[in-house]
A = this chain, B = another copy of it.
Amino acid sequence: MLSLTEENYLKAIYHLSQDGSRGVSTSEIAEAMQTRAASVTDMIKKLSSKALISYEKYYGVQITRQGKTDALNVIRKHRLWETFLVHKLGFDWGDVHEVAEQLEHIQSPLLIEKLDVFLGHPSHDPHGHPIPDKHGKIKEQKKQPLSNIGKGTQGKVCSVADSSSSFLQYLDRIGIHIGSVVEVQEKQTFDGSLEVVVDGKKKTSLSREASENILIGI
């Protein structure tokens, strides 16, 4: 069985190997885990000896099939707990991440089975992220950042690329949530900021950075 720390490293490596098809570097992992490169090297050796990643000195790591399965199991738990916190306990979507970071490490397959049933087998968490099924299968939805869509077009918000509470609270304030219909009215060339209309009512301007983190279903 994996330790809490091993699970966290594996999850980070999984996420990092999603964006960028190259091997994941020691320093990337150190950055993601808020730790030192030397500590990462130690853990890399450990996960490598357990065949969860493959590793060639000085050339970064690749996650193995088994590593991916284990990482997806942790991600499944994380997202099911986030769904529970928002839909059953009434948490705000910006306040669930840290608590779910703890809950995801509870070891009880029966608990997760029953939680999944209790929630009605949700396919996505409150941030629009897909929840892997118990075999690690993901229903991946096609999506693109709001920053990509053209002036005059509209789309439905289906996910966010940043789950930080500050970003999500900002979205709350401007009335954007999963399912909102957003129409791009203006696009500034010099800074990439947008003028958008949310749900046919509220007009707001969005920075390029914000619009890159709002994902539109295709």
Contact = CB atoms under 8 A, between A and B. Distances in A.
A110 interface: yes
Interface in A106-124: 106-108, 110-111, 114-115, 118
Given A103-B106, A106-B102, A106-B103, A111 B85 contact: yes
B106 A89 contact: no
The secondary structure that dominates the A interface is: helix
A99 interface: yes
B89 A118 contact: yes
A91 interface: yes
B114 A90 contact: yes
A99 B106 contact: yes
A218 to B, nearest CB: 36
A88 interface: yes
Interface residues of A, number: 18
Contact of A102 (B88, B91, B95, B108): B108
A158 B103 CA distance: 31
A96 to B, nearest CB: 9
Nearest to A113: B89
A90 B119 CA distance: 13
Given A85-B114, A89-B111, A103-B103, 8 more contacts: A88-B118, A89-B118, A90-B118, A91-B110, A99-B108, A99-B111, A102-B106, A102-B108
13 contacts: A85-B111, A88-B118, A89-B111, A89-B118, A90-B118, A95-B110, A98-B108, A99-B106, A99-B110, A99-B111, A102-B106, A102-B107, A102-B108
